C-alpha cells in the first residue's frame, strides 16, 4: 500500500467531511508528501507515517515493506491530532501506556499503535501547520539521534509542501488574501448542515473594462496594489467576525460569521462611501466605480446554488446605481440569466443563420402613392422561445459584441434580396438600420464590399441611424457619415423627435432623410397640440433639406392628418406590415393595382 491522501489507510474511518467546495480535489494535492514519508519510513524503520494538519486534512503513508493494515479508529485519530496540536517534538514509547490513547469509558487497549514519534510541521512564515508522525506497532524506547534528525528534516520538507498547498489552495499570491477556493471551503464549513444561512457581501471594485485599462496603462503590479489598497479599506470597515476574500481579478467577498445579522443599509452606505473615496495608488489618484452586493446564502442551496455567482450579480447591478449597493434579487437575476441565454442563442443563430430572417416594410411616396423604398427589419424565429423582437435582441447584440456580425448578416441578406428585385426590374431602394457600434471608419468598407458582392449600386441604399447616435457622435463619425453620403448612400435620422434634439447638431448632420418617430405620429389625429409639434418638426426637416418620413402610420385618420403636413413619405402598418422578401413582389403588384383603381382611399 502506498500513499493515502486526505483519508486513512484501510479500516480507518474518514475524518468528518464538510460539504465539499467545488474545487475540493485540489485540496488533496500535497506536493512531495509521498517522497518525504517514504524517506522518514525507511530512516526510522517504521511502517506508517502520517501528516496531520491543523486545517483538518490528513495524509497517510504505509510502507509496502510492512504488510497488513492499521486498524485506526476515530478515537485514535483524535489522539494523534492531540499530539500534532502541541507543536513540540514528542516521542511516545508505548501508546498503550499513554492515557491520551485510551478510548474513553472502554477497556481494550489498542494493540495497533505502540510507538509514536511526532515532529511539529511549520509553514514558510513559521506558523504551526501540524505534525509529522512516525508510527510503529512495536514499542520503542526512544529515537536514535540520526533518526530524530531524519524525522526533523522530513517534517521540514513536509512543511514546505503543506505551506505550498496552503498557499495554492487558499491564498492569492498577489494580494495575499484568501481566494475563491478558500471562500467556498470556509462557507461550506460555516454551513455544514442543511439548515442555517450566512450573509455574504460582494464587492465589484471597478468595471472590468476599466480595470483592464488600468492594467494596460500601468501594469499588473499597479492593479495588484490597487486591489490591496481596496482590500485595506474593506478590512477597515469589517468587524472581527468577518473574513475577506479575493474572489476574482476585480472582486472581493466578505463572509460574515453565522451569528451575524445582515449589515444595515447605513453600514452598506458607509462601505460604498469608503470605496468611492479617491484612492492614491503608487502616486496615481483614481476614483473607482464600486458595486456592493448582499446575499443571504442558505445552507440548503449551497451545493447547486452557487452563492458567489448570485451575490456577484447583485454587486454588478449595483455598480451603475446611485447608492452603489443592492440586495440580491432573484427576479432580476433570472432576467439576467435569460439575457445571457439569449446572447448565446443569438451567437449560435448568427453562425447558423437558419433562424434569422429579414422582413421588409414598404415606404410610400405621399404625393404619388408609389412604393419607393423598403426598410429591412431583422426577425428571429427561435425554436423554443418563438418570435424574439429586435427591440429585445438588438440591444443584447450591442452589449455582447455581436452587433457587427448581425449587421454584416443584414447587409448580406438585404443586398442579396435587393439585387434580386433590381434584376426583376423593380425600381426600389433599401433602407438598413445601423447601430452606434457600426459607426466607425470600417463601415464604408463593409458596405462597399457587400454592394460589390451583390452587384448593387450604393445609391440604392439608405442607412438609418437613431437620433441619439446621429447627433451625439463626434467629428470622426460625422466624417464617416459624410463619406457614406458622398459615396451615394442615403443617410436617415431614425426615431426623430423622442431624444434631445440639438438643432445645431442636426443642421450639421450629413443626413438626407428624417424619420419622425411613430410615438409622435400616433397622437396626430387626436391631439391638436401634438400635431402642431409634428408639423413644425417636419417643416424643420424640410427646411434643412431632408426628405421627411412619418413612420408607424396605423390608421386612415393618421394618414389623412399627415397629408396636410410637409411630409414626403409614409411607412406603417396601415400601408403594409413588414413582410418576408418573397411576399414583396405580390404586395407591390396589388398596391400598384389599387392605386390605379379610381375610388381607392389611402396611398
Ligand atoms: P425602427 O428602425 O424604427 O423600425 C420601425 C419599427 O416600427 C419596426 O419594429 C416596425 O415593425 C415597427 N412598425 C412599423 N409600422 C408600425 C406601425 O404602424 N405601428 C407600430 N406600432 N409599429 C410599426 P421592429 O421590426 O420591431 O423593430 C424595432 C427596432 O429594432 C427598429 O426600429 C430598429 O431600431 C431595430 N431593428 C430592427 N431591425 C434591425 C436591424 O437589422 N439592425 C439594427 N441595428 N436595428 C434593427
Ligand atoms: Mg429604422
Ligand atoms: Mg424608427
Same domain, yes or no: 107 and 206: no
Domain final residue pick, 118, 144, 170: 170
* Residue 333: inside a domain: no
Q: Which helix (H) or strand (E) holds 4?
A: strand 3-5
| 599 pLDDT above the threshold of 60 | no
SS3 374: strand
Q: Are 463 and 431 in contact (CB under 8 A)?
A: yes
Q: What's the structural domain count of the chain?
A: 3
Angle at 118 between CA 113 and CA 120, to 5 degrees: 150
Q: Are 143 and 194 contained in the same domain?
A: no
Is the pTM of the predicted complex or chain greater than 0.85?
A: no
Is there a domain that residue 91 lies in?
A: yes
Ligand 2 being an ion, which residues bring their Cβ within 5 A of it?
A: 433, 464, 494
Quickly count: other Cβ atoms within 10 Å of residue 293's Cβ. 27
pLDDT in tens, 66-120: 666 665 666 667 777 777 778 888 898 888 788 777 765 554 545 567 898 999 9
In a domain, 372, yes or no: yes
By alpha-carbon position, which residue is closest to atom 8 of ligand 1?
377
Are 250 and 269 in a shared domain?
yes
In a domain? residue 300: yes
Mutation test of ligand 1: which of 357, 364, 377, 573 has the most ligand atoms closer than 8 Å to its C-beta?
377
Mean pLDDT rounded to a whole number for the chain? 85
Q: With 80 as the cut, is the pLDDT of residue 535 above it?
A: yes
Strands (E), 399-460: 429-433
Name the closest-CA residue to atom 4, ligand 1. Answer: 377
Angle at CA of residue 354, ends 352 and 358, nearest 5°: 120
Residue with the nearest Cα to atom 2 of ligand 1? 433
Q: What 3-state class would DSSP assign to 365?
A: strand
Ligand 1 centre from 595 Cα, in Å?
A: 26
On whether both 567 and 480 belong to a single domain, the answer is yes
Q: How far is the CA of 394 from the centre of ligand 2 (A)?
A: 12
Whichever domain contains 101, its CATH number is 3.30.450.40
CATH of the domain at 460: 3.20.20.450
Ligand 1 atom with the smallest distance to the CA of 435 is 44
**Residue 200's domain is classified under what CATH number?**
3.30.70.270
185-195 average pLDDT score: 83
**Are residue 155 and residue 304 in the same domain, yes or no?**
no
**Ligand 1 atom having least distance to the Cα of 438:** 44
188 is in which domain, residue-wise? 180-328
Question: 133: which strand partners?
Answer: 50, 118
Atom number in ligand 1 closest to CA 359: 25
What are phi and psi for residue 295, nearest 5 degrees? -140, 140
Ligand nearest to the CA of 521: 1
Domain boundary among 138, 170, 202: 170
For 77, 404, 475, the CA distances from 439, given in Å and listed in that order, are 70, 10, 12
Contact residues for 278 (Cβ-Cβ < 8 A; gap 6+): 285, 286, 287
Helix, strand, coil tally for the chain in percent (to 5)? 45, 20, 35
The order of strands in the sheet holding 197-204 is 242-248, 251-256, 197-204, 291-298, 325-327
Q: Whose CA is nearest to atom 12 of ligand 1?
A: 552
Same structural domain, 273 and 202: yes
Distance CA 563, CA 553 (A): 12
Centre of ligand 2 from the C-alpha of residue 433, in Å: 5
User: Is position 175 within any domain?
Assistant: no
Task: Tell me the percentage of the chain whose pLDDT exceeds 90.
Answer: 52
Query: Same structural domain for residues 386 and 450?
Result: yes
Answer whether residue 360 is part of any domain.
yes
Asked which of 149, 170, 191 is the last residue of a domain, the reply is: 170
Q: Which atom of ligand 1 is nearest to the CA of 410?
A: 41
Name 559's Cβ contacts closer than 8 Å, sequence gap at least 6. 553, 570, 574, 575, 602, 603
The rounded distance, in Å, linking the Cα atoms of 292 and 516 is 42
Whether residues 438 and 553 share a domain: the answer is: yes
Residues 104 and 126 in one domain: yes
226-266: pLDDT as tens digits = 999 999 999 999 998 899 999 998 999 999 987 778 999 99
Other C-beta atoms within 10 Å of 505: how many?
A: 15
435 falls within a domain? yes
Pocket (CB within 6 angstroms of ligand 1): 361, 377-378, 389-391, 394, 410, 433-435, 464, 494-495, 518, 551-554, 572-573, 578
Is 472 contained in some domain?
yes
> Does residue 19 register a pLDDT over 50?
no
Distance 429 CA to ligand 3 centre (A): 17
In this structure, the answer to whether residues 323 and 355 fall within a common structural domain is no
pLDDT over threshold 60, residue 150: yes
Ligand 1 centroid distance, CA of 551 (Å) = 10
Instruction: Answer whether residue 18 shows pLDDT above 50.
Output: no
Q: Which ligand is nearest to the CA of 516?
A: 3
Q: How far is the CA of 40 from the centre of ligand 1 (A)?
A: 77
Whole-angstrom CA distances from 589 to 48, 63, 188, 495 are 93, 92, 70, 29
212 shares its domain with 285:
yes
- The pLDDT tens digits for 360-417 are 999 999 999 999 999 999 999 999 889 999 999 999 999 899 999 999 999 999 999 9
Give the span between the Cα atoms of 151 and 161, in whole angstroms. Answer: 15
- Find the largest Cα–Cα distance for the chain: 122
Rounded mean pLDDT of 487-505? 84
Phi, psi of 69 (to 5 degrees): -120, 160
Same domain? For 445 and 591 the reply is yes
Helix axes 390-399, 403-423, angle to 10 degrees: 130
Distance from Cα 441 to the centre of ligand 2, integer Å = 21
Q: How confident is the model at residue 460 (pLDDT cuts 50, 70, 90)?
A: very high
Amino acid at each position: 500500500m502506498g500513499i493515502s491522501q486526505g483519508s486513512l489507510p484501510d479500516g480507518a474511518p474518514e475524518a468528518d467531511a464538510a460539504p465539499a467546495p467545488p474545487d475540493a480535489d485540489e485540496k488533496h494535492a500535497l506536493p512531495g508528501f509521498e517522497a518525504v514519508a517514504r524517506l522518514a519510513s525507511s530512516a526510522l524503520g517504521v511502517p506508517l507515517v502520517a501528516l496531520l494538519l491543523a486545517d483538518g486534512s490528513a495524509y497517510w503513508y504505509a510502507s509496502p515493506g510492512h504488510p497488513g493494515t492499521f486498524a485506526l479508529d476515530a478515537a485514535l485519530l483524535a489522539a494523534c491530532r492531540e499530539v500534532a496540536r502541541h507543536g513540540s517534538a514528542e516521542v511516545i514509547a508505548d501508546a498503550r501506556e499513554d492515557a491520551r490513547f485510551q478510548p474513553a469509558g472502554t477497556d481494550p487497549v489498542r494493540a495497533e499503535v505502540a510507538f509514536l514519534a511526532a515532529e511539529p510541521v511549520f509553514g514558510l512564515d513559521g506558523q504551526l501547520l501540524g505534525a509529522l508522525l512516525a508510527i510503529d506497532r512495536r514499542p520503542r524506547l526512544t529515537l536514535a539521534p540520526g533518526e530524530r534528525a531524519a524525522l526533523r528534516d522530513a517534517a521540514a520538507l513536509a512543511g514546505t509542501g503543506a505551506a505550498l498547498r496552503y498557499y495554492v489552495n487558499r491564498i492569492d499570491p498577489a494580494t495575499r488574501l484568501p481566494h475563491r477556493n478558500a471562500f467556498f471551503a470556509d462557507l461550506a464549513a460555516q454551513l455544514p448542515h442543511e439548515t442555517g444561512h450566512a450573509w455574504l457581501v460582494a464587492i465589484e471594485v471597478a468595471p472590468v473594462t476599466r480595470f483592464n485599462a488600468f492594467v494596460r496603462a500601468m501594469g499588473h503590479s499597479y492593479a495588484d496594489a490597487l486591489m490591496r489598497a481596496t482590500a485595506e479599506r474593506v478590512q477597515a470597515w469589517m468587524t472581527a467576525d468577518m473574513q475577506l476574500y479575493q474572489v476574482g481579478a476585480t472582486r472581493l467577498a466578505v463572509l460574515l460569521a453565522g451569528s451575524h445579522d445582515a449589515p444595515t443599509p447605513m453600514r452598506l452606505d458607509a462601505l460604498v462611501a469608503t470605496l468611492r473615496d479617491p484612492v492614491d495608488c503608487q502616486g496615481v489618484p483614481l476614483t473607482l466605480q464600486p458595486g456592493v452586493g448582499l446575499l443571504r446564502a442558505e445552507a440548503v442551496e449551497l451545493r447547486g446554488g452557487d452563492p458567489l455567482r448570485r451575490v456577484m450579480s447583485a454587486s454588478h447591478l449595483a455598480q451603475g446605481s446611485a447608492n452603489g449597493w443592492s440586495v440580491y434579487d432573484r427576479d432580476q437575476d433570472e432576467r439576467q440569466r435569460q439575457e445571457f441565454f439569449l446572447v448565446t442563442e443569438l451567437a449560435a443563430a448568427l453562425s447558423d443563420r437558419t433562424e434569422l430572417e429579414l422582413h421588409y416594410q414598404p415606404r410610400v411616396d405621399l404625393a404619388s402613392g408609389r412604393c419607393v423604398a423598403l426598410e429591412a427589419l431583422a426577425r428571429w424565429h427561435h425554436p423554443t422561445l418563438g418570435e424574439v423582437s429586435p427591440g429585445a435582441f438588438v440591444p443584447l447584440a450591442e452589449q455582447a459584441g455581436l452587433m457587427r456580425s448581425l449587421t454584416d448578416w443584414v447587409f448580406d441578406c438585404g443586398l442579396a434580396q435587393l439585387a434580386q428585385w433590381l434584376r426583376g426590374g423593380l425600381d426600389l431602394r433599401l433602407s438598413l438600420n445601423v447601430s452606434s457600434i457600426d459607426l466607425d471608419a470600417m463601415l464604408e468598407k463593409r458596405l462597399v464590399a457587400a454592394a460589390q458582392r451583390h452587384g448593387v449600386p450604393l445609391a440604392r441604399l439608405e442607412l438609418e441611424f437613431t437620433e441619439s447616435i446621429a447627433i451625439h457622435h463626434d467629428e470622426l463619425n460625422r466624417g464617416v457619415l459624410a463619406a457614406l453620403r458622398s459615396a451615394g448612400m442615403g443617410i436617415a435620422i431614425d426615431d426623430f423627435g423622442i431624444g434631445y434634439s440639438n438643432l445645431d447638431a442636426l443642421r450639421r448632420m450629413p443626413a438626407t432623410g428624417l424619420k419622425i418617430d411613430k410615438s409622435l405620429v400616433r397622437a396626430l389625429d387626436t391631439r391638436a397640440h401634438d400635431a402642431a409639434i409634428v408639423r413644425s418638426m417636419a417643416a424643420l426637416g424640410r427646411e434643412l433639406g431632408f426628405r421627411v418620413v412619418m413612420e408607424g402610420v396605423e390608421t386612415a385618420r393618421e394618414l389623412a392628418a399627415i397629408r396636410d403636413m410637409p411630409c414626403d413619405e409614409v411607412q406603417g402598418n396601415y400601408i403594409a406590415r413588414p413582410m418576408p422578401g418573397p411576399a414583396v413582389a405580390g404586395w407591390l403588384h396589388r398596391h400598384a393595382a389599387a392605386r390605379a383603381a379610381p375610388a381607392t382611399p389611402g396611398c
